[in-house]
Amino acid sequence: MTPRIITLDRVVLLGFNFYGDPFTQSSGWTEENEIGRLWQRFMEYWEKEGKHLPYLNDRYWYEVHTHTPETVAKGFFDVFVGVEVSEISGVPQGPLYRALPDGEYAIFTLKGSVITSDWGYPLENQWLPQAKLKQSHPISIQRYDERFKGMDRIEESELDILIPVIREDA
């Protein structure tokens, strides 16, 4: 799969974070795991408060996975879900701010059932090397927009995966 390359500059998100093992209670896509709960927490906040704030931009919804030596050793996950803010306005009560690294990102667009398949393995082992790209920061981002129709309409859906990259020859 060939990616598009974009540059992100000063993207700051507002949302919620989970750190730990998300699959201790449930491992299914449709069941409640901790990442699903995290989205629920965010959606509750969004409905009550977030959507009324003028500086929140809901064109994209982000799920950011950060990898550290501990997450790799223990199979834990550091996951942040949220939306972009156009300005940092005060200290929020409840949600957190999270800045994305500036720089170039490769965008891989997943379509249909590929979204729920193990795209992470070919992405790391085939798609990035074939595009002569290396990951520049240990994060991967799932960016949702109006093309994602929901898990019950996955065949009609599209999802963008963003990976911060540098060119192999750089």
Partner 1 sequence: MPDSYQIESVSRAIESFEACIRQTFSVKDMADAACYSLFHFCRVFAHTTGLTPYQYMLRRRLAKAALELQQTEHNIGRIAVDYEFSSPETFARAFKRYYGMLPSEWRKSPRHHPSLLIPAIDEQLLNLIHKLKFLPESGDVTPRLWGIMSCDDGTELARLFSKITGVTEDIWYVRWYPENLPGQIYSFAGIAQKTATEGLVMLELPQGEWFAAEADAPVEDIERAITCLQHVFLANRVPISPVRFAVSSGNRTLISR
CA–CA dist 109, 115 (Å, integer): 9
Residue 19 or 119: the one with the smaller Cβ distance to partner 1 is: 119
120 binds partner 1 (CB under 8 A): yes
Tokens for 87?
A: 């300005």
47 binds partner 1 (CB under 8 A): no
CA–CA dist 101, 10 (Å, integer): 8
Residue 124 or 155: the one with the smaller Cβ distance to partner 1 is: 124
Residue 97 or 119: the one with the smaller Cβ distance to partner 1 is: 119
**CB neighbour list of residue 155: distance below 8 Å, 6 or more residues apart:** 112, 113
Q: Which of 4, 51, 74, 132 binds partner 1 (CB under 8 A)?
A: 74
Q: Which of 1, 12, 23, 114 binds partner 1 (CB under 8 A)?
A: 23
Q: At its nearest, how many Å lie between partner 1 and the CB of residue 19?
A: 14
118 binds partner 1 (CB under 8 A): yes
62 three-class SS: strand
75 binds partner 1 (CB under 8 A): yes
To which residue do tokens 């959606």 refer? 43
Q: What are the start-end ranges of the H helices in 3-75?
A: 34-48, 69-74
Residue 12 or 131: the one with the smaller Cβ distance to partner 1 is: 131
To which residue do tokens 């070919």 refer? 122
H or E element that contains 130: helix 128-130
Instruction: Report the interface residues with partner 1, using CB under 8 A.
Output: 21-24, 27-28, 33, 65, 67, 71-77, 118-121, 123-124
